Amino acid sequence: MAGRASQRVLLGCALLCAAALPCADSSRLSAAESPSQPTVAVTNFPIASAARLAGDGRQTRFILDLDQTVSFRAVTLADPYRVVVDVPQLNFQLPSGTGTGGRGLVKAFRYGLVMPGGSRIVFDLAGPAKIANSYVLEAANGQPARLVLELEEVDRAAFVQSLAPENRPELRPAVGEAPPAAVSTAATPEAVQQKADGRAVVVIDPGHGGIDNGTQSSGESEKNLVLAFGRALRDRLEKTGKYRVVMTRDDDTFIPLNDRVKVARSLKAALFVSIHADALPRAEGDAQGATIYTLSDKASDAEAERLADAENRADAIAGFNLAEEPTDVADILIDLTQRETRTFSNRFARLLMGEMKSTVRMHKHPLKSAGFRVLKAPDVPSVLVEIGYVSNKGDLEHLVSEGWRSRAVTSMAQAIDGFLAKRMATAGSSN
C-alpha cells in the first residue's frame, strides 16, 4: 500500500509538474538523496522553522520551511478525517501555538516525534479532502527548502474511494512490529536472565508521548508529568529488588495503545499500571484528586465514559488508523481468564486506593471503570491511574512537586507490594 500511496503522491506531482517543471526536479532530487541521508544517526536533525496555511475551504495549502530537503510520505485517513505526513525526525522550532488555529480545509494540526528517528504531522480536516499534490522544494531564490501539501475538497464517496481498503499497515511505524525501544532491552540475554530469576514483571505505562501531548494546562503537558511519575515509580520499585520493572516508554515517544498492551502480554506481566493526568474542560467546572480506573464494558458514570473516550483517542491524535486490531482472544477459555483478570484488577484498584488515600488527595469517587483500550490485556491485571487534574490549580502544584511525587509513588509501591505478595503466595500454594 505504501506503493499505492506514493504512486498517488507522485502522480499528483507529475500533474502539477507539467505546469511547473522545477518541482519535478526537486522532488526527484529529494527522493534520490534520501537514502544517503542517515536521518537517525545524525544528531542535528533537519530544522523546521515555520509553518503556514493558505487558501480556503475548497483548496488549502500547507507549507513547512526547512533547512534542508527531506523525504516524506503523505496519506489521508478517515473517521475522523485526517492527513498524516511522515518525515524523518525533525527539530521543530515553530512558534508556540502553531497549528492550533486552522484555515480552509484544515481545522488544526500538530507535529512531533512518533518514533525514534521519525516525526509526523497530523492535520485534522474540516471535511473530506484529497491530497491534490505534495512535494519538497529545494532552497532557491532566497527561499528555504519547503515541504508543500495541497489539499482539495472532495465528497465523502470520492474520499473513501481514495483510501486503501486495508488498515494501511504501512502507517504503523516500526514500533508497531517490533517492541518499543524502551522495551527492546527486555530481549537482551541479561533481561531474559532477570525474568528467569522468577521475579514478577511490573509494567509501568506513562500515557501519551511524542506527537500526543495529552492534557495540557499552564504550560505543563500530561505526557511529561506522567513520564516523570512513571520513572519515579520505576526507581522506587527497582530499589526493592523484588520486581523486574519495564516502562512502555522511557522517553518522549508515542506508543500506540495496542503496543502498550502487547508489552504487558509478551512479558507475562504480573501487573500493568497506566499513568495519566486528567483535565476537565473549563465549561465543566472544576474537579480534583486522583482516580483509579479499571476495565468495564459499561462505564461507571458519564465522567468515566468521557475520559475513556478521550484516552482511547490517543492513536487518532497521533495519526493512526482507528480500526481495532483483530484480537487473538476469542474462545471461552480466554473469557474465563479475562474474568479472573478483572477480579484481580479490581482487587488491586481497591488496595491502591487504600494506600494512596493516606498520601494523595483522591477524587470524590476514586474508583471508576470504563472501556479503556489500554486496559484490555485479557491475562494481565491492569489499572489506569489518573494521578490528578492538570486543570486544577492545587492538583497541578502537586503534579509538578517532587515531594508529592515521592510520597505518591511510595504509597503506590506499597500497594503493588501488597498485591503481588499475596498473588505470589497464592500461586505458590497452588503448586
Which residues of the chain form contacts with Zn ion (CB under 5 A)?
207, 214, 276
Q: Cα-flanking dihedrals φ and ψ of residue 124, to 5°?
A: -90, 125
207 or 289: CB nearest Zn ion:
207
In the beta sheet, which residues pair with residue 245? 202
Question: Is residue 261 classed as helix, strand or coil in its secondary structure?
Answer: helix
H helix intervals, 269-401: 302-312, 314-317, 332-356, 393-399
Instruction: Classify 57 as helix, strand or coil.
Output: coil
End-to-end CA distance of the chain: 50
CB of 207 to Zn ion, least distance (A): 4
Crossing angle of helices 402-429 and 332-356, rounded to 10°: 140
* H-assigned helices in 313-331: 314-317
Q: How far is the CB of 248 from Zn ion (least distance, A)?
A: 13
Closest to 214 (Cα-Cα) out of 199, 198, 229? 229
Q: Give the whole-angstrom CA distance, residue 412 versus residue 383.
A: 12
Q: Shortest Cβ distance from residue 212 to Zn ion (Å)?
A: 9
CB closest to Zn ion, residue no: 276
Provide, rounded to whole angstroms, the least separation between the CB of residue 96 and Zn ion.
21
* Complex with Zn ion: residue 133 or 291, whichever CB lies closer: 291
Give the Cα separation of 416 and 257 in Å (integer).
23
Would you say 257 or 351 has its CB closer to Zn ion? 257
For residue 371, the minimal CB distance to Zn ion (Å) is: 15
CB-based contact 75:123 (threshold 8 Å): no
Between 46 and 207, name the residue whose CB sits nearer to Zn ion.
Answer: 207
Indicate the residue among 225 and 264 with the shorter CB distance to Zn ion.
225
> Cell numbers 499505492 label which residue?
4
At closest approach, how far in Å is the CB of 206 from Zn ion? 9
Cβ atoms 396, 218 nearer than 8 A = yes
Cβ nearer to Zn ion, comparing 82 with 276: 276
